[in-house]
A and B are shown apart, each in its own frame.
Chain A
Amino acid sequence: MNITLRVWRQKGPGDEGRMVNYELSDVSPDMSFLEMLDVLNEKLTLQDEDPIAFDHDCREGICGACGVVIDGEAHGPEVTTTCQLHMRSFEDGDTITVEPWRAKAFPVVKDLVVDRGAFDRIIQAGGYISAPTGTAPDAHATPVPKADADRAFDAATCIGCGACVAACPNASGMLFTAAKVTHLGMLPQGQPERATRVVKMVNQHDEEDFGGCTNIGECAAVCPKGIPLDTISQLNRDLLGSLSKGVG
């Protein structure tokens, strides 16, 4: 395959940045998108040019480190992480536009790398349970209905990649926040702090300059882990419940 890449290049946080075109020939359809970028970077290095910086870690679709906007879609045309996207999803001769996640809360560090520390701070604000640690309790010590356990698990599969924010026209981080609120809110262990957790996490979300949710659903549609859109509704219900109890 021969492809043309239009890639966002930005030397650092203060740099203005611009799109740069690269021609790449002999791309195998079996390469992952990141391997294709590796090939381009080797070429750039041999030409004494600065390679394109992008985040990646496990390359198995489970860590959430990688993620770029490809042709206007977070993680590209397939519903998966960028590392699990393969070049067979593109046609020979395609021009592919690659851009970093765009949000005020996700400042660009370099090229395609953004700082997603805002997500960590939302988790730090309340995305945990305060329980004394010790040896693991018996698995059946606290019974949980199967449906609740399934929903908690579905929400817990969020890998924090940030695609929801990148795809949201308001750059809202609600799906991410709602996933954690739902995960802990469905389980008995999450109940003692349920009312204060949602308040703290939503406040932190707003302080990080994420936008508000307008229930458009682009977040859930691009989510590589399929976090359901209705988790946001559950967060809303929890928050309104907290406010009505005076926890604000």
Chain B
Amino acid sequence: MANSTLTKKRSTAYGSTVALKAAMAVTGVILVLYLIAHMYGNLKVFLGQEAFDGYAEELRDLGYPLLPHEGFLWIARVVLLSAVLIHIYCAVVLTRRDNRARGGASRYQVTKRVQRTYASYTMRWGGLLIALFVIFHILHLTVNVIAPGGASDSPYVRLVNGFQPEYWYVTLFYVAAVIAVGFHLRHGIWSGAATLGFNRADRQGKINAVALAVALVVTVGFLLPPLAVTFGLVSNV
């Protein structure tokens, strides 16, 4: 405004909404690829304890002797943690900008959704739910500090113990979080592709189909192991 004597800090394009969203898209790609690999490992539970625990052990020596024992795992952990932190940081900055831009929570007396998907509503609160779940999930099945049904050195036993019917609330939290991940991917994959510049009118349908397919596969793939345990299809021998 002409009557302002304050010099506003100039925006630079590196900190623009578009650049921050590109950072979210790139970190999102890393996290989606990780989810698919993680889901593949989880499904080994249907091949029995030996296959599941063996896979977990193999991961520790992936790239050996080029990498030390657990070397690959720690590299993956650093990359994933950085990706998560960048993703969350950008999301918080952008959400605050958006809230300010909207000019208050009670924007209109009447609001009507024209065509937006349900998934697009769930990005922020769904993301928060996923973040809280990931903390619980690591304490439960990775560190095993939280050990419903008893701690164990075997990943298979941890999984089976943790999702027994009497711990239905653990399973419920897991199911809710995985469904939130599904919605997050449904809109996130589409949005990430558009942010990185891949959207064109003739590709819009395809990008949305891929987003929906990946979201469905990941959701079902992650739901199967814990539900199989709860319903007694997978158990300790």
Quick one: CB contact mask for B100-124 with A, threshold 8 Å, 1 for yes?
1111000111111111110010010
Residues on the A chain within 8 Å of B120, using CB: 214, 216
Residues on the B chain within 8 Å of A85, using CB: none
A235 at the A/B interface (Cβ < 8 Å)? yes
B101 interface neighbour in A210, A232, A234, A238, Cβ under 8 Å: A210
**What is the total number of residues of chain A having a CB less than 8 Å from a CB of chain B?**
54
Quick one: CB contact mask for A168-197 with B, threshold 8 Å, 1 for yes?
011110100000000000000000000000
Given contacts A216-B116, A233-B198, contact A240 B204 (CB under 8 A): no
User: What is the bound-complex CA distance between A246 and B215, given in angstroms?
Assistant: 36
User: What is the bound-complex CA distance between A221 and B11, given in angstroms?
Assistant: 29
Closest CB of chain B to A16's CB: distance in Å?
12
B164 at the A/B interface (Cβ < 8 Å)? no
Residue of chain B at shortest CB distance from A172: B101
A217 at the A/B interface (Cβ < 8 Å)? yes
Given contacts A105-B101, A207-B11, contact A212 B17 (CB under 8 A): yes
Quick one: CB contact mask for A61-91 with B, threshold 8 Å, 1 for yes?
0000000010111000000000000000000
Closest CB of chain B to A219's CB: distance in Å?
10
Complex contact A211–B101 (CB within 8 A):
yes
Complex contact A212–B14 (CB within 8 A):
no
Q: Interface on chain A toward B: helix, strand, loop, or mixed SS? A: mixed
A122 at the A/B interface (Cβ < 8 Å)? no
A43 at the A/B interface (Cβ < 8 Å)? no
A202 at the A/B interface (Cβ < 8 Å)? yes
Complex contact B112–A71 (CB within 8 A):
yes
B14 interface neighbour in A69, A222, A230, A243, Cβ under 8 Å: A243
- Stretch of A29-37, A95-103, A138-146 with 4 or more beta carbons under 8 angstroms from chain B: A95-103
**Most-contacted residue by chain B among A217, A218, A248 (CB, 10 A):** A217
**Interface pairs A-B: 5 shortest CB-CB:** A237-B197, A212-B17, A211-B101, A72-B112, A233-B199
Chain B positions near chain A (C-beta within 8 angstroms)? 8, 10-14, 16-22, 94, 97-98, 100-103, 107-117, 120, 123, 187, 190-191, 194-201, 204
Given A174-B17, A202-B13, 12 extra CB contacts under 8 A: A99-B108, A169-B116, A171-B103, A172-B98, A172-B101, A202-B16, A212-B17, A212-B21, A233-B198, A239-B13, A239-B16, A248-B14
Chain A positions near chain B (C-beta within 8 angstroms)? 6, 8, 19, 69, 71-73, 97, 99, 102-105, 167, 169-172, 174, 199, 202-207, 209-218, 221-222, 228-230, 232-240, 242-243, 247-248
